[in-house]
Structure 1
Amino acid sequence: MISSAMLKGVWAYRGFVVGSVKREFQAKYGNAVLGAAWTVLNPLAMIVVYTVIFAQVMRSKLPGVDSSFAYSIYLCAGVLTWGLFTEITTRAQTVFIEHANLIKKLQFPRICLPLIVVLNATLNFGIVFALFTLFLLASGNFPGWVFAALLPVLLLQIALAIGLGMLLGVLNVFFRDVGQFFGIFIQFWFWLTPIVYPASILPEEVRALLPWNPMASVIGAYQDILVHAKSPDWSSLALPAVLAVLLCMLGMQTFRKRSGEMVDEL
């Protein structure tokens, strides 16, 4: 998917990548009174709203969970990780357009731009998730050794997000409607994924379609680990894994094929 020449190019420009991540983080939070706290406050506000609206209805719907924090943990497991997926895909689809002047003026490996998106999103996610982990420890809801199973699920989600994001990013340069359409589509995708509600409340015929939603399996894996303290059903992640590989391959192929033409379109 990524050639050795491309990897060498990224390594040669590692200072540019690290500097860009640092500058973007500082630009986003440097002049804010609360600084990086906004990274936490935005998803926290969403979780509070959903908890207030849905907690009494959904708390009794979570099977096999007795903790008083069960629904809040269930929400965090979905909302925080969905936020990472959304940030990578939405940023990646506009990254070439946003950096049009840079692409036109400088010669550098353009694959650095999606990498910067992934690193920025992962940094933001890491801050929020570290605080969430502290909450799990303080409340006595830490899942134990199975917590380590988060890493392969996280890597799978990032691969799925950047593969889709890169493909959309290249297409969006040539067809600007792509970005507009995906902005609407991802809102529907959120509500079609059991994040705010458990899959158990869905009708049987609708539940049977969930395995075809790759993010339902990924979010479900997070929920198994963090809410139920059990290892996820790895077989359920087969489709997202295959899709992630295919999207990364297609995204890289499209990127390599069209990168030269993008300059004329930007």
Structure 2
Amino acid sequence: MAVGMLRSMWSYRGFISGSVKREFQSRYRNSLLGAAWTVLNPLAMIVVYTVIFSQVMRARLPGVDSGFAYSIYLCAGVLTWGLFAEIVGRAQNVFLEHANLIKKISFPRICLPVIVVFNAGINFAIIFGLFVLFLLVSGNFPGWTFVAVFPVLMIQVVFAIGLGIIVGVLNVFFRDVGQFFGVLLQFWFWLTPVVYPASILPERILPIFNLNPMVPLVTAYQDIFVHARWPVWSSLMFPAALAAVFCVVGIRMFRKRVGEIVDEL
């Protein structure tokens, strides 16, 4: 099943790359600042959170002496959460947004979530590249531990696209799913230690808090960039397993319902 899907996507690689290019260009067409908005939106969010929370949190990041510590902490969480939220948020509506294309053209429908991942990846690469440049210039680059970003990032992307496909298929048949999930994402953000460290939470709620699969992922990024240390790999087994399960379930749901999706649209 997986091999067949990969072959189909490879056969339509021109369609995928062309769609990614067109979407990126159309997003910033007739915009004076163009792709700069990719940087400005998360930057504004980071500045606001830094101004509001820096005085509160400065003394609550244990073992950190850098003056940029909280800003780096925020960037590590906000930028990577943004990638997750964009993939899942776009994937939940991808079949609805491309309803006309799905009805008129015959192509592997699984290409659409792949296009979502590539588009989100391009936006993330721009802002993340600037973040890494800032770390280099300010002398806060984590060194060899930086390579740990890539396996963590891979787990996060697989988790996001698996969840996105599940929600996207459900959203075709039950339109309230998309609305509900948008609200859920907002709560999910604040239940993840993006703005605050988990160390400030009461110990009695930590077992429940740690059931959030984004907690070990975001914590791993913060360990790398703030503390320049390797992530606790064992803590990533839960989100990695969940990512695999979501992908299998999502692809099976999609393959089983793909004919009904076309009819429903």
Deviating above 3 A after TM superposition, structure 1's stretches of 4 or more consecutive aligned residues are none
Which residue is 1:40 aligned to?
39
Which residue is 2:197 aligned to?
198
Q: Which whole-Å CA distance do the structure 2 matches of 1:208 and 1:198 have between them?
A: 15
Shift of 1:29: 1.2
Residue identity opposite 1:22 in structure 2? K
Shift of 1:209: 2.2
Shift of 1:205: 1.1
Describe how 1:223-234 pairs up with structure 2 within 5 A: 223-234=222-233
Q: Does 1:86 align with 2:85?
A: yes
Which residue is 1:131 aligned to?
130
TM-score (norm. length: structure 1): 0.98
Find the residue that maps to 2:227 and give its secondary structure: coil
Shift of 1:120: 0.3
Q: Which whole-Å CA distance do the structure 1 matches of 2:45 and 2:127 have between them?
A: 13
Which residue is 1:102 aligned to?
101
Shift of 1:183: 0.4
Shift of 1:92: 0.2
Q: Which whole-Å CA distance do the structure 1 matches of 2:153 and 2:100 have between them?
A: 33
Q: Does 1:180 align with 2:179?
A: yes
Q: Which whole-Å CA distance do the structure 2 matches of 1:134 and 1:114 have between them?
A: 30
Describe how 1:111-150 pairs up with structure 2 within 5 A: 111-150=110-149
Which residue is 2:216 aligned to?
217
Shift of 1:7: 1.4
Aligned length: 265
Residue identity opposite 2:187 in structure 1? F
Which residue is 2:188 aligned to?
189
Q: Percent identity between the aligned chains?
A: 69
TM-score (norm. length: structure 2): 0.99
Equivalent pair of 1:211/1:236 in contact (CA under 8 Å):
no
Shift of 1:31: 1.8
Which residue is 2:22 aligned to?
23
Aligned alpha-carbon RMSD (Å):
0.7
Find the residue that maps to 2:62 and give its secondary structure: coil
Q: Which whole-Å CA distance do the structure 2 matches of 1:123 and 1:153 have between them?
A: 18
Q: Which whole-Å CA distance do the structure 1 matches of 2:2 and 2:53 have between them?
A: 48
Of 159-168 and 30-39, more deviation after overlay is shown by 30-39
Q: Which whole-Å CA distance do the structure 1 matches of 2:22 and 2:55 have between them?
A: 43
